[in-house]
Amino acid sequence: MPKLSRSDWYDLSRDTNWTFRYVSEDDVFPEDLSGSHRVATDGWLKWDEPYKVSYREYVHNQVTKDTTTYSLKNAISRSKVFDQLDPGWKSVILAHYGAITMPEYLASIGEARMGRFGRSAAWRNTATFGALDEVRHGQIQAFFPYGLLEKEPRGDWALKAFHTNNWIAIAVRSLFDDMFVANDAVSIALQLTFTLETGFTNLQFLGMAADAIDVGDLEFGALISSIQTDEARHAQQGEPTIKVLIENGHQEYGQFLIDHMFWRSWRAFALLTGLSMDYYTPLESRKMSFKEFIQDWVIKQFTEQFRDYGLDFPWYWDEFVKELDWYHHAIHTIIWNYRPTVWWNPDAGVSPAEREWLEEKYPGWNRTFGRHWDVITENVRNGDLIATYPATLPVACNICQLPIVRAAGVLTGAHTDPAPLTFVYEGRTYHFCSAPCKWIFTQRPDRFKGHKSITDRLLTGDINPPDVGGILAYMGLSEPEQGVDADNYAWAEET
């Protein structure tokens, strides 16, 4: 029997479109779930994924990846590799597992929504593979930290975090609910695959895998590489989707969705990757600063994406670029202060050598953020650790759910007004960290109203008693689970 080449059968095999006779197109693809009605049915038929794979090939590839990765894990789990890792790097992977494992699993819901409500059969086919990818990512990132439990019990936050009211979990949950759990197929394609995956995480996973290998964490490196290759494939759903929108005169809507999610992705990225790259990764393993990474990879990637599709840079682009100099430094300082409220051990990352590196990468760091660490270091040296802990909550932004921080002395991007931005909607005052977060809320207030930030919960009596003990209990953190300084303050004694 002659073997057909893929191009001879591929289009036919994935074409599951048919003409509906008993129901309307609108009934099959409700707008709330599909988000595709701006473009007529014929317009969606042009949707074509750049990377094609058959089910048989897909299964073969995935089995190979799983076999390799799980085998490596089995071999390494019998070694002392984890014990010998740098404490800061252990924090990188603990933070990652708690913040990312469940979202990977939830992303399968987003992919499945595109797999059911995407208007093109080709798209539904590609998204079905994406749903299988994300189930795998959820499972593998739950199983790997499970293997760490004997050495690091907080590996169970891979599953636990999303079932708590921990403030980081609230922030990440809010982001991913917005991005894919409570989103329509078109928006998911543009916000999850085009913006987050193509623009941020696909690149981040490449760098993170390399860093993991460099610090000796072969297990995590193999895991991340295995995931990245799936992401590189299913992330491509965004491109044909924006192309269809643009060809049918809806560039402005596509731009809105991308602008919305680029900012939210940036916020989460600064929190997780910014701290990891500039403070938690051992100095000798840092290949570039977070700012350099964003400039060289993320900005370059988006510049090409925007150019290729005739899109504009988001209206807040200047503010985003300025924030590269200060935002994640402020967040890091606060996370370290509030270390009992997170499930990993924040690495201060401010030994003399590290401060020198920070000053080189971020000229002026010692003058701006360093002065806060001077006070903290002095308290540690004097044995006054109580002074390094918080006694109240920061005010969290009602969009990104992260503390409202300021540049404090950094001239570029410094906020001139000390008061947070606010917006009154249906009698309630919402607080925002930045103009883009306020813009996201005000564009669609009904989408975001009603949600309570961690600060709202404190002030409206959800957290009882409204003190540090009550806050930690509300966040699901028993004493052994609470973060401590990753290096047991050794950095403060170095001169």
Partner 1 sequence: MAPLPITATFAGDIVTLAVLADDQDTAAQVADKIAFHVVGKRVAARNAPVKLRLGEQVLDPDQVFGTYAADSLPHVEAFFDE
> Whose Cβ is closer to partner 1: residue 59's or residue 375's?
375
CB 261 within 8 A of CB 200: no
The answer to whether residue 464 forms part of the interface with partner 1 (CB under 8 A) is no
What distance, in Å, lies between the first and last C-alpha atoms of the chain?
76
Residue 396 bridge partners (DSSP): 403
Residues that bind partner 1 (rule: CB under 8 A) add up to a total of: 35
Residue 431 bridge partners (DSSP): 422
For the chain, how big is the Rg over CA atoms in Å? 23
> Whose Cβ is closer to partner 1: residue 264's or residue 329's?
329
Residues 383-402 contacting partner 1, CB under 8 A: 387-388, 390-395
The answer to whether residue 328 forms part of the interface with partner 1 (CB under 8 A) is no
By CB under 8 A, name the one of 242, 271, 275, 334 that touches partner 1.
334
180 vs 33: CA distance, rounded Å:
11
> Whose Cβ is closer to partner 1: residue 219's or residue 278's?
278
**CB 463 → partner 1: shortest distance, Å?**
11
The answer to whether residue 455 forms part of the interface with partner 1 (CB under 8 A) is yes
**CB 321 → partner 1: shortest distance, Å?**
20
> Whose Cβ is closer to partner 1: residue 147's or residue 390's?
390
The answer to whether residue 414 forms part of the interface with partner 1 (CB under 8 A) is no
DSSP state of 422: E
148 vs 168: CA distance, rounded Å:
22
CA distances from 451 to 327, 397, 400, 444 (A): 24, 11, 12, 13
Other Cβ atoms within 10 Å of 13 Cβ, number: 11
By CB under 8 A, name the one of 215, 275, 407, 437 that touches partner 1.
407
> Whose Cβ is closer to partner 1: residue 194's or residue 373's?
373
The answer to whether residue 28 forms part of the interface with partner 1 (CB under 8 A) is no
Enter the tokens of residue 62.
């995935």
Counting beta carbons within 10 angstroms of the beta carbon of residue 414, is it exposed (0 to 12), middle (13 to 18) or buried (19 or more)? middle
- With CB under 8 A as the contact rule, which of the stretches 180-188, 214-222, 267-275, 371-379 interacts with partner 1? 371-379
Smallest Cα–Cα separation from 147: which of 90, 78, 207, 221? 78
Binding string, residues 278-317; x marks residues near partner 1 by CB under 8 A: ----------------------------------------
Which amino acid is located at 401 in the chain? Q
Phi-psi region of 427 (alpha: psi -120 to 50; beta: other; left: phi over 0): left
**CB 427 → partner 1: shortest distance, Å?**
10
Site residues (vs partner 1, CB under 8 A): 330, 333-334, 337, 369, 371-372, 374-376, 379, 387-388, 390-395, 403-409, 418-420, 429, 431, 455, 458-459, 466
